[in-house]
Amino acid sequence: MKEFYKVLLIAVIIVTITVGFSVRNFANANIPYDTKALSQELSNALKEWYSSIRATDYKNITVKTLLADDIQPVKIGDGKAEAVFCIKTTMIPKATLEEASQFPFLKGMQRYLNENRKKLTPAQIKTVELAIKARSDSFKDIVGKLHEENGIFKVVCNLASDGTIDKNSIKIFYDVSVTGRPTWENANNLFTSTITNSNEEEERGYKEVKDLIERLYSQNTFANQISPDSLYQNLYHGLNAAYYADDYTSEAPQSKTITCWIDNNPVVSNYTDTGYWNNAQYHLTQYSNGYYEQLACNNCADFVSQAMYYGGMQTDSYWNPQNRKTSVGGKWYWVNVGDLTYYMWKERGDWNDSSYSSLAFGDVAVHWGYDWYGNIVRDHIVIVDYPNYYGYYLFAGHTKDVELHYYPQTSQWFYYNVSCWRFGP
């Protein structure tokens, strides 16, 4: 008899669990999810979050979102909801001209000049003053001007029993991909200021101008001995390069594509909108089949070269727009990331190793990966079109067309300061 009741009890428990599970599933299945309303709630959460992380350094913040259905349709199910948005934000920096002139980085540069003035020649002093002025101008350029930022975000949350979002469960992710499909990282970890304390910032400014003088006036800079009485001027204006970059790219959606004819095969390039490119000056061929030439789908180095050229980077027989579609000795200095990097960095010395936190207008970041043999391959390049000096930097580029687009600091990028210091008249 005891065995009978034991079996009966087990059967009752199983039925209770099964019925409860079915009722719960049935109840969830009948929640009238309003996709439009949920998407709007997720959008509002993203806007609120973005405004909060920028409020310390900016004012008049306006955040606009657009559902990126071409990347991922809105997902609702299993008690969760998620949506992907393209975001476009405008704001005005709170910094004043007086505050900009007192940035610790500038103080460090000035301290080097003050401490070494007696050791420097008049030409070297003038060279340092020109370097300080260029950096000061770039700081002051942000003051009072409307600033824009772009990016792709995914918002994920749990759903409450009534079908509304659980605001305490909201998580926001950012697309950090360079090309190809999105790669999501926790935005709260990425959108934190990387700016160092004032003393460290001042030391960076001191070191930058110290390294500049040592490099320019080294006897090994060129074949000829460098006279300390030689005046150097930086012919490269990073601001102009950044202006050019912003004029000729866009924050293209994934659905904006072109097709190129590569190795007798059609190859599709997403996030590519040639409508914004400088097609008049840098023409790209379309074949009879309607496809673009290969360069159109691999245009990142071409674009950065154009911007640097506009910014005043001096041409030579290797790097110039006339060689854009013609190699020189098997090297494509204008349009190939690896060749361009090696030439400007190692051969000419107009690119210098930098850190993320030392970038300025017109500087560049080069993405790298490994090939099948474990060798480092430089596969993408972008140019700084807005260094906001609050710890993160925005970039412009082609191939994945971006404008004022945030790429976080990562070991997958090499960073270079770009300049073109030459003997003055």
Block means of pLDDT (10 residues each) for the chain, 425 residues, are 46 42 38 82 96 93 96 92 96 91 93 96 96 92 92 96 89 91 92 72 93 84 67 95 97 95 95 97 94 97 98 97 95 98 96 92 95 91 88 92 94 96 81
pLDDT tens digit sequence for 274-301: 999 999 999 999 999 999 999 999 999 9
What gap in Å lies between CA 156 and CA 140, rounded to an integer?
38
Task: Give the residues across from 383 on adjacent strands.
Answer: 364, 396
Question: Which residue ranges does the chain devote to CATH 3.10.450?
Answer: 31-95+145-190
What gap in Å lies between CA 274 and CA 294, rounded to an integer?
13
Question: Which residue ranges does the chain devote to CATH 3.90.1720.10?
Answer: 235-425
> Which CATH number describes the domain made up of 235-425?
3.90.1720.10
Locate 116 and state its tokens. Answer: 């070494």
At 197 the pLDDT is 72
For residue 268, the one-letter residue type is: V
pLDDT tens digit sequence for 66-119: 999 999 999 998 899 999 999 999 999 998 999 888 889 999 999 999 999 999
At 219 the pLDDT is 60
With contact defined as beta carbons under 8 Å apart, do 92 and 145 qualify? yes
At 194 the pLDDT is 58
Identify the CATH assignment for 31-95+145-190 out of 3.10.450, 3.40.190, 3.40.50, 3.30.379.
3.10.450
At 271 the pLDDT is 96
Neighbours of 379 (CB within 10 A): 17
